[in-house]
Amino acid sequence: MVLLEVEDLKVHFEIQDGWVKAVDGVSFSIDSGETMGLVGESGCGKTTAAYAITQLLPPNGRIKGGRIFFREPDRVAAFRKEYDWKLKDSAKGRRNEISRIKSKLDELNRSGRKSAPEADEMRDRLAALTYSFDLLALSTRKDGSLDDYNEDIRKIRWTQISMIFQGAMNAFNPVFRVGDQIIEAITLHEDVDENVARERAKELFEFVGIAPDRIDNYPHEFSGGMKQRAMIALALALNPSFVIADEPTTALDVITQDRILAEIKRLQEQLKMAMMIITHDVSVVAEVSDKIGVMYAGLIMEIGQTSQVFKNTAHPYTAGLLGSFPSVKGERRRLVSIPGFPPDLVSPPSGCPFHPRCQYAQSKCQEERPEGVAVEPGHISYCHFAEELWEKLRRTA
Amino acid sequence: MRNNGKKNVKSKKPDARELQEASMKTFKRILVAFRGTWKIYRRSLTGVTGLGIVLGFFVIAITAPWTAPYDADFKAPAVDTFIADYATRELPPETNWSLVKGLTSSERARPLERVMIYSSDEGAVISYPVTRGIGEETEEIGIEIGNPTIIELPAHASYLDYTHFYRSFFFVLSANEEGENATSTLYEYDYDFIYLREHEIPFVPLYSSNLWNGFSQLYQEGRLALAFADEHNIWLFNKRPPDITEPGIDGVAFKNSLSFPNATVIGNPLVVDGDFENGSMLIVPTDVGIKAYDLNLTRSLLTKKVINVSIEGLKWESNYTLDGEEFEPLTGQDMMIFQYPYQPTTALGKESIAVATTDGRVVAYDRVTGNVTWQSMPILPGIRDFDIASLHSSPDNMIIVGTTGERGLIVGLDPETGRVGGNNSLFSTVEGYLNSPPQYVIGQYRYVFSTDRGTIYLATHELQINATFSAPGGGAATPVSFLGNIYIEGSRAGNYFGVITEEGSLFVETLTGVNIAPLPPGTYPSGNYYPLGTDYEGHDILTQVMFGTRAELMVGVVAAFFSVVIGTIVGLVAGFYSGLIGELLMRATDVMLSLPYLVIMLLFAAAFGPSLFNIIIIFAILSWAGIARVIRSVTLSTRKRAFVDAAIVAGASEMRLIFRHIGPNVLPYAFLYMTFNISGAIVTEAILAFLGFGDPNAITWGMMLQYLQISGHSLDAPWWLLPPGIAITLLSLAFYLIGRAFDEVVNPRLRRR
Amino acid sequence: MAGMSRYVAVRSIQTFITLLVILTLIFIMFEALPAQPQDLLQTTPGMQPSQIEYMTRLYGYDQPVSKRYLNYMFNMLTFEFGISFSQAEPVWDILSDRIPRTILLFGGATILAYIVGIYLGALIAWRRGGILDGGSVVISLVFYNMPSFWIGLIFLVIFASELNWFPLTGWYDPTDNLPYVVDVLWHVSLPMIVLLLLSLAGTVLLMRTAMLDVIGENYMVTAKAIGLPERKVLFKHGARNAMLPVVTSFIIAFVFSIGGAVVLENVFSFPGMGALYIDALYELDFPVAMATLYIITLLVLLGNFAADLIYGYLDPRVRI
């Protein structure tokens, strides 16, 4: 079942010199229980894309387009896709369809068949037509800015989607006890006694491998690794169905990194929650994700199952990215870095943004933004020459 | 690099070209650094605004003498600042009316009740009641002249005088017949011109004494004395007015006479007294000298009332010589005065009799002994020749009225020394000759007098012309006379003067309580335009604000500079010697920070006396702590940087390290905090000045507001209240904004906000 | 909590030592003044030599400096201030009425300024970039640089003289026919509002800066991500942290505010310690000036001590 579907997301930031097109049309989906890794260099828009889901953008961020469907029932999604294909962008057609379905529903209501499967279908169709599972529709204002503290979004935050933050060092408020911050999250969303919440916090601590009596400590009394574990405990506090981990290991030493990754793996196995791991570290992704999205300059370059992307690389950028990291498997090869620098996102290159650095670039790359090419089932590369290059780039395992 | 440079300096002297190149390099480096700073700085809108404001104030400070509408010590002329309550009344035409006189009531407060004029031609007196009414100009409660009463006087009445002592008395003198054996009659009237009695004088007087009245504290008894003289005779009239214990009895008049067969009386005699009980004297100027006689008072043994007054023998005689040299006294009515010094420090009995001489001197004789106590030839800056016309006495000074060329002259002499004030400044000259004695305005420490040009002057007790008046229709026909005071409830009390105008009407105007300064902005009768109005003394506010900029900038910049120097040195040392010395210095800094500095500044300002210099020093001493802290932390971080280590290795001395290597790095911070401190110093100066600890000799915005407060206009003169405060706020804000903008240059972390 | 009590103990000792140092400084300051009380006695007109001798002994000016210093320290710490020069009354009697008045004015204004300033500063930083932010910053900057007495005079003109909302001067006027407390509050409110506005300006600017720093912190994102409502993110997590540097600068604000109180007492003829102090300075009444200065300093130090305690409560990191 698809848990999260991001469709053509565009997030831009307003700065003095213009607009930073941090995310400029990104689509992906994550199934329940699936872990997706979003990789790319710093500044490629991966964090922005993830933060747009829980709507934690800085005040100058604007949603310039796209939809984020969360926990949309499969049938609704199917209807939605059907309508999108059928109605294209015709607003009038959509309005007509909505009124038609509404009248049908009314008819069913009047005839006392409210709970008939037919009525359910109509309701699902209506939901699909009105995009009622789109998180962005809940809180985007006319100018594209987000109503940060929208009630509906607030209810989804942490109960449904929680996060493990990049800088766990500072993710806890230094003036409150760590335990209190977990208790705060629990009591905020659940109508439970503080003692109950406290017990839960202790359990969570135990679960992530911290002594339960440490919940009365302040953040500054924790080590870096402990803070990251506490962060995980906090993220799990309300048993969310989806966890976004933003660079969960970046600030940690190698040994702690390893432990935290192991911890995350264990969670996936035990709790069966969906995860999205944002990182620049390909090795992290390789270890824990089922699926990988490679981002560059605000766009997805390649997306697919981890093994597909790693083995049957179908995009020159992915190839470059993989080439610049040492292999996890310990195989020896020369590290090759990609020549040139990531583009300025205020005025990104025309066509494929990677073309100035791409050794396979041709004139077409400058002119047209590439469409996704499905090289394998579920493996899409956004390259004009994906088919041709696929064989060339495929790694010899 | 630095190391090499240093060695070169030691080993051989650099030649001029090298030096020049080095200095050019430094200059270029500074220029580049400046440009870089400016590039970042100019992005801050507030910073550029602040800089603009400060530059504007600098321009104002420098150009104030040319751009300000008036001079720094300009005061609005009296014609602008003075509005007087007045009343006029048409007089019966075609009569030569003499001086206006004011009649005050017999009550203790003695408000003006009537004004009186008389005509010797017609032998009549017109008396107008003075009442409260609506003033003609001020339209506030003021003076009103009522309907007159006309009193017929005896024929040929040539003299009229009056006194008030519990009740007023009028004396009218009238010559009986012409010729060799002519006599005259002194008529006595009471307050309401009711005839009381008359006295025969066996001659026709040429001179009359001051109408003197006094009161004995010891015997609770009042006296009146008046003497008349012709060339060889004196006739003294002495009277005890009725007192409260004996209502109805208007007292016995004692008459005495003296004759001078061998001498000629040349001026008005004087009736003087010491402490009244003893020492009453009659002083007569004759052509051979001044003759002083004791007046002997005989008292009833029972009631202690005076039952007789007689002229005793000659007490002293003094001829007109000084150090063996003769001088020529002025003759006439005002040749001689009696001066009783009012200063409480003067012992009793130090009164002087003063005589003016024809060569411009004043000679003072001791009342009791007749010895010359001083003689004075006044030195008046800028005036070479002058002639004395008359002498007058006032509670403050002896006053010489004279002429210098075409101008009238009025000079004040210290009664004890005969000097013209402390620095020969107690004089004024006016257009035309004085035609009235300078009359002392009670309670106002001023004099009123007029000239033959018909202008009426009001002078301060230092004889500086304070205001000029003129009667409507071109001027006064008679000398001005001070009439008295009228108390008006709910309004101001006024001292009134009166003249008869050239158009033949009675004009009465007040001198007091009608300074209308502070003036609101506008154009005034003198034609002057005061864009922001004036203060209480008539200083143009805009001019003061503009000139005030100089002191403010000076105090702000200098005080801040010194505080920054102290703070920087403390911070550098504390940062560099981070051991015990540094720790001690930082503790001291913390203590300084927790001192209520403004409160302590007030203490110092009170104790060291008010001056701009002291304010600067006090500010510098108390305001360095904040800077020291910042400089210390910058020093600490700079020390860690590699190049300092390099310098240490190269063997630089500690002083060199601090000032050559670390100094340049802390300099931006020192400058930054200097701008903040300038802003603080400006406000601090204002506060000290406002609370009365400012420099009274400087024009500062704080002093302007202090004067506003102490003159009691803080609630009713917004044009005076607002400009200095706005100027302080603006200048302080401007420096503060510069600081904030510069802060962004120095601390790039702040730039994004 | 052991950490906290140790923290309190350390702070108390530090405050006491600072007090001793400041007392010594005050003593040195008065010793260094050009006009000495002994000289003042000599020049007072009408003083008989025997009187001068008596007064000199009474005020202890015949003793050596070291002895005087010890006496002085002991007297100050036991609130024995001696007798006023100008009023021939014990200084304590003159001063004691005025202390609570100044505490009410200055303490009230300072505490209110802190509460309002922290709230306002946090709020305008939260909505930065808007008209509210720009306007508040400009107004605060202007107020921050205004001479206190001037704004006091302007308020006096507008609200007391023109609008007649507040009395012009004083502390209590029995003819108002109001209950004592109400009348006192009515009298104290205008100077307090002015002092509040002046102190507020600095606090708002400081709090805004601190809050802007805090907004960028990761824990703020965490607080938001958890799903806390805006109010809680802003105040519980944001303002709570941004307050820390503001509370640290309490002493500077206290010093600023007490200066303002002294000035405003004189503008509003408010019979507190500030007005007494200025009068004592005019008359060079050293015992009164010294005692007032001491009490004012003591107030500042106690205020700072309280601020230290609050800081210790607010920031767990210092209680070690």
pLDDT by residue (tens digit) across C67-98?
888 888 888 888 888 777 777 778 888 888 88
Q: What is the pLDDT of residue B323?
A: 77
Q: B390 near B372, Cβ under 8 Å?
A: no
Domains of chain C in start order, with CATH, are 2-77 (no CATH), 95-315 (1.10.3720.10)
**Triad B33, B38, B44: Cα angle to 5°:** 145
Q: A165 near A211, Cβ under 8 Å?
A: no
Distance CA C146, CA B192 (A): 64
The CA–CA distances, whole Å, from B488 to B82, B134, B398 equal: 18, 11, 32
Distance from CA of C183 to the nearest CA of B (A): 23
Q: What is the pLDDT of residue B219?
A: 64
B94: left (phi over 0), alpha (psi -120 to 50) or beta: left
Name the residue facing C228 among A54, A165, A188 (closest C-beta): A188
The CA–CA distances, whole Å, from A394 to A314, A322, B155, B238, B365 equal: 7, 11, 147, 143, 132
B607: left (phi over 0), alpha (psi -120 to 50) or beta: alpha
Q: What is the pLDDT of residue C91?
A: 85
Cβ pairs bridging A and C (under 8 Å): 75
CB pair distance less than 8 Å for C218 and A54: no
Cβ pairs bridging B and C (under 8 Å): 134
CB pair distance less than 8 Å for C317 and A174: yes
CB pair distance less than 8 Å for A173 and C223: yes
Q: C225 near C145, Cβ under 8 Å?
A: no
Distance CA B132, CA A352 (A): 100
HSE-up of residue C111 (Cα within 13 Å, Cβ side): 8
Candidates A235, A324, A248; CA nearest to A38 is A248
Give DSSP secondary structure letters for A43-71. TSSHHHHHHHHHT---TTEEEEEEEEEES
Neighbouring CB atoms inside 10 A of C4's CB total 14
Would you call A242 an interface residue with chain C, using a CB distance cutoff of 8 Å?
no
Would you call B604 an interface residue with chain C, using a CB distance cutoff of 8 Å?
yes
Distance CA A329, CA A335 (A): 14
Contacting subunits of B (3+ beta carbon pairs below 8 A)? C
Residue whose pair of structure tokens reads 């006595």 in the numeric block: B188
* pLDDT band at residue A293 using 50, 70 and 90 as cut-offs: very high
Residue whose pair of structure tokens reads 């036991």 in the numeric block: C78
CB pair distance less than 8 Å for C222 and A172: yes
Burial class (CB in 10 A: 0-12, 13-18, 19+), B244: exposed
CB pair distance less than 8 Å for A188 and C227: yes
Q: In what order do the strands lie in the sheet with A299-305?
A: A161-164, A242-246, A274-279, A35-39, A291-296, A299-305, A379-381, A373-376
Q: What is the pLDDT of residue B726?
A: 92
Distance CA C202, CA B736 (A): 13
Would you call B581 an interface residue with chain C, using a CB distance cutoff of 8 Å?
no
Would you call C244 an interface residue with chain B, using a CB distance cutoff of 8 Å?
no
Q: What is the pLDDT of residue B6?
A: 43
Q: What is the pLDDT of residue B748?
A: 61
CA closest to B705 among chain C residues: C150
pTM for this structure?
0.68
Name the residue facing C145 among B596, B693, B736 (closest C-beta): B736
CB pair distance less than 8 Å for B690 and C149: yes
Q: What is the pLDDT of residues A91-144, one digit of tens each?
A: 888 888 888 888 888 888 888 877 788 888 888 888 888 888 888 888 888 888
**pLDDT, mean of each 10-residue run, chain B (753 residues):** 42 66 79 79 82 91 87 75 73 78 66 79 79 60 77 77 68 75 83 81 85 65 80 85 58 80 88 67 89 82 72 87 83 82 51 86 87 82 79 84 86 83 75 86 80 84 78 75 69 72 80 66 81 83 90 91 91 82 86 84 82 88 87 80 67 71 79 88 90 83 86 81 91 89 72 45
Residues of C in Cβ contact (< 8 Å) with B44: none
Q: What is the pLDDT of residues B304-355, one digit of tens each?
A: 677 777 888 888 988 888 877 888 888 888 888 887 765 544 445 567 889 9
Residues 6+ apart with CB under 8 A from B133: B87, B141, B142, B143, B144
Q: What is the pLDDT of residues B523-565, one digit of tens each?
A: 877 778 888 888 877 788 899 899 999 989 999 999 999 999 9
Query: With a CB-CB cutoff of 8 Å, which residues 208-237 of chain C face chain A?
Result: 217-219, 221-230, 233, 237
Best of C133, C221, C241, C319 to mutate (most A CBs within 10 Å, chain A) = C221
Tokens of B695: 């420099």
Residues of A in Cβ contact (< 8 Å) with C244: 175
Neighbouring CB atoms inside 10 A of A224's CB total 14
CA closest to B610 among chain C residues: C282
Distance CA A131, CA A98 (A): 11
Name the residue facing C317 among A163, A184, A220 (closest C-beta): A220
Would you call B736 an interface residue with chain C, using a CB distance cutoff of 8 Å?
yes
Candidates B584, B567, B559; CA nearest to B635 is B567
Q: Are strands B281-286 and A274-279 parallel, antiparallel or unpaired?
A: unpaired
Tokens of B106: 């017999």
CB pair distance less than 8 Å for A170 and C219: yes
Name the residue facing C293 among B603, B679, B725 (closest C-beta): B603
Phi first, then psi: give them for residue B87, nearest 5 degrees.
-145, 145
Q: B479 near B55, Cβ under 8 Å?
A: no
Tokens of B395: 């509670």
Give DSSP secondary structure letters for B419-440. -STTTT--EEEEEB-B-SPPEE
Q: What is the pLDDT of residue B566?
A: 92
Distance CA C22, CA C24 (A): 5
Domains of chain A in start order, with CATH, are 1-160+241-289 (3.40.50.300), 174-239 (no CATH), 304-393 (no CATH)
Distance from CA of C218 to the nearest CA of A (A): 5
Can you tell me the ipTM of this complex?
0.87
Q: What is the pLDDT of residue B346?
A: 44
Would you call C318 an interface residue with chain A, using a CB distance cutoff of 8 Å?
no
Q: What is the CA radius of gyration of chain A?
A: 23
What mean pLDDT is reported for chain A? Answer: 84
